[in-house]
Amino acid sequence: MKIAIGSDHAGYELKEHIKAQFADGIEWQDAGTFSNESVDYPDFAHPVAESVSEKKAEKGILICGTGNGVAMTANKHNDVRAALCWNEEIAKLARQHNDANILVMPARFISQELADKIIKCFFTTEFEGGRHALRIAKINIR
């Protein structure tokens, strides 16, 4: 599975932890950042969102301090449904009901252990379709 991943400086350590923790069977497409020096989050959110939108990556993960900045940026792209998740239940519902294809996490508000659980939940939960698919079809503005 190919997953695009990116973070700003606040999410750098968690991004690196995730890549090491979930190395088996994952081809990481790392959009950066590559240190904890201050950067602008859109510079990393746009490439991840483009990879998912253009189907160069199956899914994506974005991380910043609160998760809000990268989520707002990613959701500007067609066919991207970036969901800010801070617990397993939200991650599960984001996949089941919203067919979220980018997981966004707030590095300043969750532990590495919780991030690992959220990732497992997000990547093992299937989209339910049905009435939810009708709603998903109304999201893009073209």
Residue 23 DSSP one-character state: -
User: Does any domain span residue 141?
Assistant: no
pLDDT band at 140 (very low <50, low <70, confident <90, very high): confident
- What is the Cα–Cα distance from 138 to 142, expressed in whole angstroms? 11
Question: How far is residue 132 from each of residues 90, 102, 104, measured CA to CA in Å?
Answer: 16, 17, 20
Its domain, for residue 63, covers 2-136
Q: Is 97 a catalytic residue?
A: yes
Catalytic position from the list 9, 17, 77, 97? 97
User: Does any domain span residue 13?
Assistant: yes
Total domains in the fold of the chain: 1
Look up the CATH number of the domain holding residue 104: 3.40.1400.10
Beta strands in 8-140 (DSSP E): 27-30, 59-64, 82-84, 102-106
pLDDT band at 141 (very low <50, low <70, confident <90, very high): confident
pLDDT, tens digit, for every residue of 40-67? 999 999 999 999 999 999 999 999 999 9
